[in-house]
């Protein structure tokens, strides 16, 4: 029995490491692979929305660098989060033509955590910007995002690799995880330990679901880049592109 979609694309969270998603998408298109549906969380929701909005990978890269994706983050008195998404939302509104899921050219699933009900929630219709903000709201760093009376945080808390919605409807699933974790001998200091623990959790979400993917891409060179470093966007883009080209040569 044929499935509804030929290609499904899963995009993990990972902050500004997510620029690797755009590089990967460029490589996929060069190999005549155009996703028919996308499932993304956190950073994956941002870059997935841009692509579903019919923007090329390179144009999306340029637009986000020019507008500064993380610019104008507003410091808050610590209550629900350290930063307010003031500039982030403005950048999204300037970068996206679509305002609702229904306006996107490619179906998109965005995932966030409802912290009132403790449920992993999928958004696929209605307001697009609010869903992206909710999915990208890293705990402590950003305040929760309110949607219809409920508070939402980054979906990566529960599942940073949302492949499940695509399993029964896609002939080929391509998964991109931008949170590699390799060997690090010198692990000292509170920040280093905290960051490594965070990436370990995110990586394991993907590894546990890797078997659902027909093509799995995890660019190991991303490990040295931070998750809120916009200055490395172009380098991260190239890493995603090069790794995807390498994997596709082996897979196709």
Average pLDDT for consecutive 10-residue bins of the chain (252 residues)?
90 92 97 97 95 93 72 42 65 91 98 96 97 90 90 92 96 94 57 57 73 95 82 94 96 76
Q: What are phi and psi of 167, to 5 degrees?
A: -60, -45
Give the count of beta carbons closer than 10 Å to the beta carbon of residue 214: 13
Give the count of beta carbons closer than 10 Å to the beta carbon of residue 244: 26
pLDDT for the residue 192: 53
pLDDT for the residue 75: 38
C-alpha of 152 from chain center: 16
pLDDT for the residue 72: 38
> Of 7, 2, 4, 3, which is closest to residue 36 (Cα–Cα)?
7
Give burial (CB, 10 Å; 0-12/13-18/19+) of 187: exposed
The b/e string for 201-211 (b: 16+ C-beta within 10 A; e otherwise) is ebbebbeebee
Q: What are phi and psi of 213, to 5 degrees?
A: -95, 140
pLDDT for the residue 82: 47
pLDDT for the residue 125: 97
pLDDT for the residue 2: 77
Alpha helices in the chain (DSSP H): 19-30, 43-52, 57-67, 86-95, 128-135, 190-209, 233-251
pLDDT for the residue 76: 39
Angle at 83 (CA atoms; ends 198, 20), nearest 5 degrees: 50
């Amino acid at each position: 029995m044929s499935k509804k979609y030929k290609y499904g694309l899963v995009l993990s969270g990972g902050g500004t490491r997510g620029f690797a998603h755009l590089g990967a998408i460029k490589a996929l298109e060069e190999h005549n692979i155009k996703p028919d549906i996308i499932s993304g969380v956190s950073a994956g929701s941002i870059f997935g929305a841009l692509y579903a909005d019919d923007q090329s990978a390179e144009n999306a890269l340029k637009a986000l660098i020019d507008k500064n994706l993380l610019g104008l983050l507003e410091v808050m008195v610590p209550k629900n989060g350290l930063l307010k998404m003031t500039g982030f939302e403005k950048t999204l509104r300037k970068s996206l033509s679509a305002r609702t899921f229904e306006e996107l050219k490619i179906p998109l699933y965005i995932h966030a955590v409802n912290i009132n009900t403790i449920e992993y929630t999928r958004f696929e219709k209605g307001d697009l910007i609010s869903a992206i903000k909710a999915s990208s709201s890293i705990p402590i760093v950003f305040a929760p995002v309110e949607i219809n009376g409920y508070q939402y945080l980054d979906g990566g808390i529960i599942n940073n690799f949302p492949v499940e919605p695509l399993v029964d409807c896609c002939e080929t699933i391509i998964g991109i995880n931008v949170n590699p974790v390799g060997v690090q001998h010198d692990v000292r200091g509170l920040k280093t330990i905290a960051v490594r623990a965070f990436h370990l959790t995110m990586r394991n979400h993907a590894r546990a679901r890797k078997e659902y993917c027909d093509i799995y891409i995890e660019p190991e060179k991303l490990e040295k880049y931070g998750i809120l470093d916009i200055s490395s966007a172009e380098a991260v883009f190239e890493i995603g592109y090069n790794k995807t080209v390498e994997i596709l040569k082996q897979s196709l």
